[in-house]
Amino acid sequence: MQNPLLENFKTPHHTAPFNEIKEKHYLPAFQELIKISEKEINDIVENQDEPTFENVIEALAYSGEKLDVVSNIFFNLNSAETNDEIQKIAQEVSPLLTEFSAKISQNGKLFKKIKKVFDEQNSPPLEEWSSQRRDRGGLNLNEEQQMLLNETYKGFVRSGALLNDSDKEKFKNISIELSKKSLQFGQNVLAETNNYFKHIKDEKDLAGIPEPILQQYREEAKQRNLEGFVVTLQYPSYIPFMTYAENRELRKELALANGKKGFQKNEFDNQNLIKEIIKLKQEKAQILGYKSFADYVLEERMAKSPDKVQAFLNELLVKAKPYAQKEIEELKTLAKSDGIDEMQSYDHAFYAEKLRKQKFDIDDEELKPYFPLEKVQEAVFGLARQLFGLEFVEVHDVQKYHEEVKTYEVFEVGSPKSEVRRNSPKAESQKLKAILYVDYHPRKGKRAGAWMTSFKNQFKKDGENSRPHISVVCNFSKPTSDTPSLLTFQEVTTLFHEFGHALHGILADTTYPNLSGTSVKWDFVELPSQFLENYCYEPEFLKTFAKHYETGEVLPDEKIQKISDSKNFMEGYQTLRQLGFGILDMAYHSAVGALERLSVKEFEDQTTEKTQLYPKNPETIMSTSFSHIFQGGYSAGYYSYKWAEVLDADAFQYFKENGIFNLEIAAKYKILLSSGGTKDPMELYKNFRGREPKVESLLKRAFG
């Protein structure tokens, strides 16, 4: 029986053949593709020719292409459309891939060839090498080739290539265990999210909740064959409840359920898993000679060291905390008028919304009719056209993994449309920019949150510019029988955020796949996403798309101005919240041995003490569902959201000073996006801005 994952995809633009793929195809495909990739590596190792950049470094960069594609397909589905079978396969596949990766990174013969090429190019030694002396390299490499060589060499060293055989084996086993445990962490969080729902029969218990949200709760109940209403822990259900429900006891119940995920001493408890993951990461770092996992990670980030990150977070904490405390005092005054003497964290969203209405006369539910999902998407597409010359054409012959997914071909403005292009592969490769998948609504098999990912990276090979396949996944409210999907303003900014990441992938124009698109330093990766959010607050731009879905009426000027004015509402609180996440992340990954003496709950409470503005609750915890650092790629990197805010505030200020649609500046920014990881990020930023970013830009935007 043929396996579609092992065939050449006979689909438009060689997109994933989702209609033909079954769960049973994945494991055999991975097993076969790992063999094929191992042969590619072996061919590099056994090549008798003198090691060169082309036959070692470049050959390695292009190896495993099909394995990468199948991995992307599988793990993207494990996040967006998973089931018990896929999760079971993931537990089998993850260690196979980790072991394969370890085999490559610890292949002594391969590393010997890499080191020979590296030494030949980088003489004098790398630590003496600088951008001013690139022309002295022995192999006459261009800038991107030099970056690939350096990153390849460092990648092998950081994966244990210089270890003795015994430590190599330990390193490999640690990596395999980490992949299993990280995967289990995420599966536990998803299970806990899906397992809880609150069935409410009496509509009086839902006082304060706007009718469109009530309708959503009715639909959820109907899907479960229940009367009345159902609230879940999925964000489009949970967040509106916490924001509008007048019933404080129910707010408390929902908040407790959300805060207990992975913290209930059941089969999905993540407490011991956290300790095991942190211990393994620490062992991994120490085998390589680093003091902590944070030291290991940050060596390859813009920030460079834990001390610099701590100083950065503490500087923001000192400056933001007085603003946050003042904001909370305002909320407490409001709560007191309702007879609440001691505000709790589960009261925050409710009273923040009340205060926001008072200050700015803005009601999220009142605004939602002006932000139908379809029009918001049109707006972000239009912005990409205006700034970067991109055109999005919906297509129906690209296969999808779920019926709710929509697919688009992305072209340069003015180029021929898809049918013409498909008849000429060369024209297609020159003009098509990307394939874009969008997947907007929550489902049982989709994890919470929003993210951008790719099914295939961009790269150049054999004269062809192979274009990327990009995906944007969110969890916005579904349309009902009589209403389209309407977004809160926060969801509008979420879509722009993820689309900023997508542009990083869509505009990619590098030679090598591992330097393409979002393959940049982790504390640089959030710049494009956070940058694009700024446009949501610009009246000039908002007027172009904030229109009532029924009447077509443009959102009144005074409301648009209030949205713009409210940009920094609760900025102190939000800053402290983000700093709490960042400080906790750094503590887990740099406080060596601390978890051996404390419970996860004690460790979290002690670490985040300075960022807490409400009383602690002994029944809730953040860590056990902190997927960013225990499942995702943000270990010792959560600070990067704030780090990137400095970059995005500084970058957008450049536009503000010269016009938010300034095409000359947009052209420079497009170069930054298309360059991916081919240059040092600070160098890329300085080429765009003319100088390094200033933290004052963020402080000015946040606090005036």
- Say how far residue 657 (Cα) sits from the centre of its chain: 29
Separation CA 272–CA 277 (nearest Å): 9
Q: Are 6 and 27 in contact (CB under 8 A)?
A: no
DSSP string, 130-176: -GGGGGG-TT---HHHHHHHHHHHHHHHHTTTTS-HHHHHHHHHHHH
Q: How far is CA 495 from CA 90, 129, 199, 374, 492, in A?
A: 28, 41, 30, 11, 5
What is the DSSP annotation of 366-419? HHGGG-BHHHHHHHHHHHHHHHH-EEEEEESSS--SSTT-EEEEEEETTS--HH
Give the residue numbers marked as catalytic. 498
Q: Which helix (H) or strand (E) holds 97?
A: helix 84-105
Within 507-653, strands assigned E span: none
DSSP string, 448-500: SS-EEEEEE--EEETTEEEPPEEEEE--PPPP-SSS--B--HHHHHHHHHHHH
Residue whose entry in the numeric block shows the structure tokens 């790269």: 459
317 CB neighbour count, 10 Å cutoff: 18
Residue 556: DSSP 8-state: P
Looking up tokens 């916490």, which residue turns up? 242
69, amino acid identity: V
CA angle 126, 127, 131 (to 5 degrees): 75
How many Cα atoms occupy the beta-carbon half-sphere of 19 within 13 Å? 8
| Sign for the pseudo-dihedral over CA of 150, 152, 158, 164 | negative
In DSSP terms, 527 is beta-bridged to: none
Upper half-sphere CA count for residue 497 (Cβ side, 13 Å): 16
3-class SS of residue 618: coil
Question: Three-state DSSP class for 334?
Answer: helix
Distances (CA, A) of 233 to 104, 107, 256: 41, 46, 11
- Residue 455 and residue 435: Cα distance in Å, rounded? 10
Please name the amino acid found at residue 448. A
Distance separating alpha carbons of residues 5 and 16, to the nearest angstrom:
8
Amino acid at 119: D
Q: Please enumerate in sequence order all residues whose Cβ is within 8 A of that of 587, keeping only pairs 6 or more positions apart, or say none.
A: 594, 603, 607
State how far the Cα of 71 lies from the Cα of 79, in Å rounded to an integer: 12
User: How would you class 326 by CB atoms within 10 Å of its CB: exposed for 0-12, middle for 13-18, buried for 19 or more?
Assistant: exposed
Q: How many residues does the chain have?
A: 704
Which residues, other chains included, contact 26 with Cβ-Cβ below 8 Å and sequence gap of 6+? 5, 70, 74, 86, 89, 93
β 464-466/469-473 pair status: unpaired
The pair of structure tokens assigned to 411 is: 């072209």
- Locate 342 and state its tokens: 């001691």
Tokens at 555, concatenated: 């959102």
Give CA–CA dist 649/658, Å, rounded: 14
**β-pairing, 469-473 with 432-439?**
parallel
